[in-house]
Structure 1
């Protein structure tokens, strides 16, 4: 990883995620109105892309209800604030084993395993410019949860995403996931320009130390566009590191709820801090229109 900074940077704001963060911060948006308003505020602070999950408005639990996605998208579009929409397609690959002594049947409380087409229902209905494709299977956290994305499932999803005219953002959580992304490209189910997100520091994926980050970045093809982030306290340092490594930036409450020690962040706070880092390092923020041109995205609204 040579020091070849990216001077023209886009920021993605991961607005709410699916993690158990709502009980730890009242700034994490839950309802469609809150998610849309937080996305708009992030865009006004400098984010070109809003990465969106939805939650059950009553419980705050993660949801994949297409009606909730539709309400968020319509509220953002009605705001008149331009941003590139990136909807998650990661839901529906959740496997929670029964126990260490009786792994099967799976725990019905946490397991949510559905087919490729069903995982993309909201993408087919709303046609965002971008949707995510979690490129691999891995243990996730300390319990019996496995994020499950087999090569066959990913190939089927990638083909459907391509046919919908949506750009996949390939989520790379570990070094082998990058190899899987390259295989999908070689299979002809992902079109140029390829866009990937390096997701660092998530147990038990790639750690966010500099050596591992360098190893991953050094193996990203030169003609691919990448962003990178880390979770928790290293999210904001990674904003600068991603730019210096030649990439783009992701921040947001999906990955980190803190602005400073003991100070809870809003999405716009995190975006503003990342924007300041870009400008302090001699970079320029790309607008949504410039991101569409760079990634050959079709504006839907």
Structure 2
């Protein structure tokens, strides 16, 4: 049991959820406001994607990230910025009989430098590193993160002085994570997010969670989450596993059956659950000390 835990709020993601919940933020000002509200509710870290304001689809636009970060940093509310670096590894095959050419709709494959362009420009305290490929949900979509790509991205993130959050979707991803550590590409303290219940990765049952926890690199700081209706029960599961908490509209859009959630409400529910279990919720400064984060604001960002 972790009695001193921090909460990450995954604010928006890129999934097709905007038509199901009006609170899913799309525009940069909405994403920033939702992150600030989550911080005020008790989140220490905001995990951020951006969306095309016109379509609601996921985007890698550096200017959109810059506007979100600028708005958060200009507020009076402190929260640690964690930018996704998962975009740009999306591969959609053409079909079961004709996998090539690739389906242009949904395929977004770019190089390591381009995948990290917003991280290089904005220098957040944390960015994600999805530590492996997998069949992600249904259809012909593959989340693609080859060992070569991950080595290049890890090396670049390390050079920037940004803490990688290693996102682990299955047990084999932990094997690759340990290899990157042995190669000196990930610095201590190692930060790992166990992503559970996502087809077709690790299921979100207690036995699988603990198998993954028992195979973490020594000394790693981990969080754990699941999606949909299992998100809130996983607040307790994460704490009992010795880890930290992630909630947010990226992973779950409901507060209860038929009741659309806000990010702040999901964080508030997590705080209530954790504190009722006897845990203390860490603030941003305590998390910075724990994770040895460099608090920086890119030159000119607030201009």
TM-score range, shorter chain: over 0.9
The within-5 A match list for 1:37-48 is 37-48=33-44
What residue in structure 2 maps to residue 210 of structure 1?
206
What residue in structure 1 maps to residue 188 of structure 2?
192
C-alpha deviations, 1:127-167, integer Å up to 9, x for none? 00000000000001110000000001000000000000000
Give the aligned length: 297
Q: 2 CA distance for matches of 1:80 and 1:287?
A: 15
C-alpha deviations, 1:19-40, integer Å up to 9, x for none? 1111111110000000000000
Q: Secondary structure at the match of 1:51?
A: strand
The within-5 A match list for 1:167-246 is 167-246=163-242
Q: Secondary structure at the match of 2:232?
A: helix
What residue in structure 1 maps to residue 300 of structure 2?
none
What residue in structure 1 maps to residue 281 of structure 2?
285
What residue in structure 1 maps to residue 107 of structure 2?
111
**Is it true that 1:269 corresponds to 2:265 in the alignment?**
yes
Question: Does the Cα contact within 8 Å between 2:206 and 2:237 map onto a contact in 1?
Answer: no
Picking from 73, 76, 81, the partner of 2:69 is: 73
What residue in structure 2 maps to residue 254 of structure 1?
250
Question: Following TM superposition, by how much is the alpha carbon of 1:210 offset from its aligned partner in structure 2, in angstroms?
Answer: 1.2
Q: 1 CA distance for matches of 2:290 and 2:74?
A: 25
Picking from 128, 131, 134, the partner of 2:130 is: 134
Question: Following TM superposition, by how much is the alpha carbon of 1:278 offset from its aligned partner in structure 2, in angstroms?
Answer: 1.1
Question: Following TM superposition, by how much is the alpha carbon of 1:97 offset from its aligned partner in structure 2, in angstroms?
Answer: 0.2
What residue in structure 2 maps to residue 124 of structure 1?
120
Q: 2 CA distance for matches of 1:133 and 1:222?
A: 19
Mark the runs of 5 or more structure 1 residues left unpaired by the alignment: none
Q: Secondary structure at the match of 2:77?
A: coil
Runs of 4+ in 1 over 6 A off after TM superposition: none
Mark the runs of 5 or more structure 2 residues left unpaired by the alignment: 298-303
Question: Following TM superposition, by how much is the alpha carbon of 1:220 offset from its aligned partner in structure 2, in angstroms?
Answer: 1.0
TM-score by length of structure 1 reads: 0.98
What residue in structure 2 maps to residue 90 of structure 1?
86
TM-score by length of structure 2 reads: 0.97
